[in-house]
Amino acid sequence: MRLPLLRVCSRSRATFTAAPLKLKRLSDNANACHFTHSAGLRAQTCKALVYSKHGDPAQVVQLEDVDLPPIGAQDVLVKMLAAPINPSDINMIQGTYAILPDLPAVGGNEGVAEVIEVGSQVNSLKTGDWVIPKDAGLGTWRTEAVLSEDDVISLPNNIPLLSAATLGVNPCTAFRMLSDFEDLKPGDTVIQNAANSGVGQAVIQIAAARGVNTINVIRDRPEFTHLSDRLKAIGATHVIKEEALRRPEIKELFKTCPKPKLALNGVGGKSATELLRHLQIGGSMVTYGGMAKQPVTVPVSALIFKDVKVRGFWVTQWKRDHTSDEGAFKAMLDELCSLIKQGKLSAPICTKVSLQDYSKALEAATMPFTSAKQVLIM
């Protein structure tokens, strides 16, 4: 994966030739080029949120002028429309994520863009199409980009902008976790923590569309009732506080729905252990996030007497494993877009922030208890 091949920063006017995104802990085929550069037709510049060293995003990210390479025969010029700030984007900038680009790099892994020009040999895309990245590492916090047509996948351009901008990571993660680990039937139950997160809200809605109950665990807060009502309005069966998981009254809840076959853990630490305690015999817990930055402890009894399966999931790996089977990704996006059009899947609550106000957005994205996704509007 590669950042723009030729980038000129307005402040220093230094010229960089970006190297392929380096994988620090993974060695696979992830060095595929995202930005192609063919012999020059014309140069353009765009604005981009660039970081040249790892650290606190509010300190190291800056808005800069960046040169765009000419549009090659198999490239498209896109105008970014909207791009969220996800925890993984923050972790990449901090230098703590599993994949890290060579620096300097443009931030952002997700977002929706409109095709505004196509190269002479582009077959799959046309002007006006909406596209999202196929893989992580594209650097979406920018106003325009020249991309290979193979690096993006199209979406219908008649779905809400915020749904499109936030579709490629969290709803796909929710969709896969609800599909690939347990054979969930209508009436079954899933339990999850961080239920108000982007992933959590997608889990609630996709599960509800399939007739699957959800027990949604969130941290206590002054506006718990308001948040609980909001999650119930999008299809949550039950919403409970972390503490309630440890109380005997939880047994009452299991009179209204079966014990969960599947637990989804985006937090880690004690919260994950509590999810495990309520799983059905033979059920699975899938860890996809570690917001509490604490390891997952599995009680010996859960393994011996309940034979629980403890698994992990990373949507980036799923996408890379399916690069030669684009149909699988397309089929998932089609199903998700169909849910969006039926009103069964909405974007998480978002705060729209203009690209110029990125400092505010980056700061807000690292704040706890906000229950809102920061989305940069270009």
Ligand X SMILES: NC(=O)c1ccc[n+]([C@@H]2O[C@H](COP(=O)([O-])OP(=O)(O)OC[C@H]3O[C@@H](n4cnc5c(N)ncnc54)[C@H](OP(=O)(O)O)[C@@H]3O)[C@@H](O)[C@H]2O)c1
Stretch that binds ligand X, among 1-9, 29-37, 197-205, 322-330 (CB under 6 A): 197-205
| Residue selected from 76, 105, 162, 199 as contacting ligand X according to rule CB under 6 A | 199
Q: Least Å distance between CB 198 and ligand X?
A: 3
- Per DSSP bridges, beta strands 350-354 and 309-312 are unpaired
Least Å distance, CB 268 to ligand X, is: 8
Taking each helix axis from N to C terminus, what angle separates 87-94 and 358-365, rounded to the nearest 10 degrees? 100
Say whether residue 198 binds ligand X (CB under 6 A): yes
Q: Which of 51, 141, 288, 358 binds ligand X (CB under 6 A)?
A: 288
Mask 78-97, x = binds ligand X (CB under 6 A)? --------xxx---------
Task: Using the minimum distance from each CB to ligand X, give the nearer residue, 291 or 310.
Answer: 291
Q: Does 373 bind ligand X (CB under 6 A)?
A: yes
Name which of 44 and 323 has its Cβ closer to ligand X: 323
* Stated length of the chain: 378
Decide if 97 is catalytic. Answer: yes
Q: Using CB under 6 A, which of 69, 72, 119, 289 touches ligand X?
A: 289
Q: Which of 51, 97, 288, 358 is catalytic?
A: 97
Min separation Cβ 73 and ligand X, Å: 33
* Binding segment toward ligand X, per CB under 6 A, in 54-62, 156-164, 169-177, 232-240: 169-177
Positions in 29-88 near ligand X (CB under 6 A): 86-88
Of the pair 222, 368, the CB lying nearest ligand X is at: 368
* Residues contacting residue 136 through CB under 8 Å, at least 6 positions apart: 1, 88, 99, 109, 316, 319
The verdict on 228 binding ligand X (CB under 6 A) reads no
Most distant CA pair in the chain, distance: 69
Task: Rank residues 81 and 267 by Cβ distance to ligand X and give the closer one.
Answer: 267
Cα(182)–Cα(266) distance, integer angstroms: 18
Among 76, 145, 292, 353, binds ligand X (CB under 6 A): 292
Smallest distance from the beta carbon of 159 to ligand X, in angstroms?
A: 19
**143, 170, 192, 237: which one contacts ligand X (CB under 6 A)?**
170
Tell me the closest approach of the beta carbon of residue 64 to ligand X, in angstroms. 25
Q: How far is the CB of 220 from ligand X (least distance, A)?
A: 9
Would you say 167 and 336 are in contact if contact means Cβ atoms under 8 Å apart? Answer: yes
Residues binding ligand X (CB under 6 A):
86-88, 169-170, 173, 194, 196-199, 218-219, 266-267, 288-292, 313-315, 348, 368-369, 371, 373
Which residues are designated catalytic? 97
